[in-house]
Amino acid sequence: MKNNKDLFGDDVTSTAHDEFASLLATHDPQSQRALKVGDKITGEILSIGKEECFLSTGTTNDGLLLTSELKDADGKINNKVGDQIEVYVNQIKGSEIRLSKKSSHADAENLEDAFDCMIPVEGRVSEVCNGGFRVSLMGKTAFCPISQMDSKPITQAEDYVGKKFEFLITQFEKRGRNIVVSRRKVLDQQKDEASAAFTEDHKIGDLMKGVVTRVEKYGAFVELSPGLEGLVHISEISWSRVNDPNDVVKVGDSLSVKILKIEDQGGQLKISLSSKQATDAPWTTAHQQLKAGDILEGTVTQCLKFGAFVQVLPGIEGLIPLSEMSYTKRVLRSDELIKPGERVRVLLKEINPEDRKLLLSLKDANGDPWALVMQKYPVGKIIQGSIEKKEPFGLFIALEPGITALLPKSSYKDLTENPYEHAKMGDFVSVQVAEILFEDRKMRLTPPKDGDDGSWQEFSEKSTQVFGSSLADQLKSFQAKK
């Protein structure tokens, strides 16, 4: 016989190898399948006790069968350990599997059998009564306490009247004189079954669909399978900022979700979900939808000391710094001009997808008043403006919203008639454009040289008319002679 060495250096005979190979060959990959209530299986009797027997179920967990079900009419047990018998799965609770030789659900021969074997039976809720409900059950009337009708709090008991449900009989007196049932136990059982199947069939990162069953301030509950729910926390509902989940989802909505976490907490399965992560992150395609220079509409989400955040696309926000708020006034707080929830037009100045940042401008979206300053206020033009600010070195004169120019004190301090020395804030005065520094957005003024704020314009118009018509006449005369 040939000897071999195992991983630990010990000798292993070929016989041992053959036994191991035989074990692998007989392993059934289907043996790890998930069972559910109602399944019919063939199990091997592993042990026979006074009250209960253990049977193999084809899974890692053995099943329990009442020993009384192995007895015949005379009370004798005709089976022995090692026998193969057909049984039904009647209850699954965690790792405990309860079996019965009788068919599951409403196939029970009578209510007493259903009670003994813990088999769910179908009943119709006939009316609401004191403390619960009356239920019509296979020709009998049963009582279901209000706490046992559902796994969630009941607010409208009348909603259950007239509907059919499955119930477990929890109390049964001889001849059915007093029957108490529970639907909640059936739901808990279904939840246990769903939990066992869920952990076998799903893992963290899986995408699936569910239905919103409840919406709370902190998030939304989504049913993934009958009796099994997961929570989408408010922070995982949307890529956009969400203040109230009710603004985004409602009961009955179909929702695509991603599994973030699966935890077993004292026999209860806690599942954390994300609906936003079930879709592409908005910044992955931001560069395709946005470009510098775009005029966008968005919603103000936050007003802070240094500026305001505006959502321009779902999940994509940009910042308007205080310096980009207005051309017409000095802004010290962003909420002086805009408020959270307000819709605004903004200009996209810069986009940085890597850092997930947008630089926005509120003032540039509405046009720059300096853009036409050379045409509106050419050097030499006499205009009127209001005194916006008085400084020791001169006066700041507002010509229009967003355009303020300086009248230096040196230009008017020696005037014989000085209308500027005692002028007050808001007074209108005549000035003349002396210099424009367009790149620096600055303009210097002087007192009008002729003292008439309309003479320059009139002179300009008259000059154009006189010289223009004279030149035209000369050209016509020259053309005629030629």
- Model pLDDT, residue 379: 92
- Cα–Cα distance between 354 and 443 in angstroms, integer? 40
CB 299 within 8 A of CB 342: yes
C-alpha pair distances (Å), 292 with each of 298, 322, 361 = 15, 19, 11
Same-fold call for 105-188 versus 374-457: yes
Question: What class is the 34-101 domain?
Answer: mainly beta
- Model pLDDT, residue 45: 92
Task: List, for residues 64-88, the tens digit of each pLDDT value.
Answer: 988 888 888 788 888 899 999 988 8
Straight-line distance from the first to the last Cα atom of the chain, in angstroms, rounded to the nearest whole number: 132
Q: Where are the domains of the chain?
A: 1-32, 34-101, 105-188, 209-278, 282-366, 374-457
Find where tokens 């813990």 sit: 118
- Parts of the chain with a pLDDT under 70: 1-34, 94, 103-109, 175-176, 267, 450-482
CATH 2.60.40.10 fits 209-278, yes or no: no
CATH architecture classification, 282-366: Beta Barrel (2.40)
- Model pLDDT, residue 381: 92
Tell me which CATH code domain 374-457 carries.
2.40.50.140
- For the chain, the residue count is 482
- Model pLDDT, residue 450: 59
Give pTM, 2 decimals.
Answer: 0.46
> Regarding beta strands 63-66 and 84-93, do their DSSP bridges make them parallel or antiparallel, or are they unpaired?
unpaired
Tell me which CATH code domain 105-188 carries.
2.40.50.140
Q: Which residues contact 385 (CB under 8 A, 6 or more apart)?
A: 397, 398, 399, 405, 428, 429, 431, 445
Q: Give the CA count within 13 Å in the CB-facing half-sphere of 92.
A: 21
C-alpha pair distances (Å), 181 with each of 178, 314, 337 = 10, 50, 64
Could you tell me which of 307, 394, 408 has the C-alpha nearest to residue 358? 307
Task: List, for residues 157-188, the tens digit of each pLDDT value.
Answer: 999 999 999 999 999 887 667 899 999 998 88
- Model pLDDT, residue 268: 76
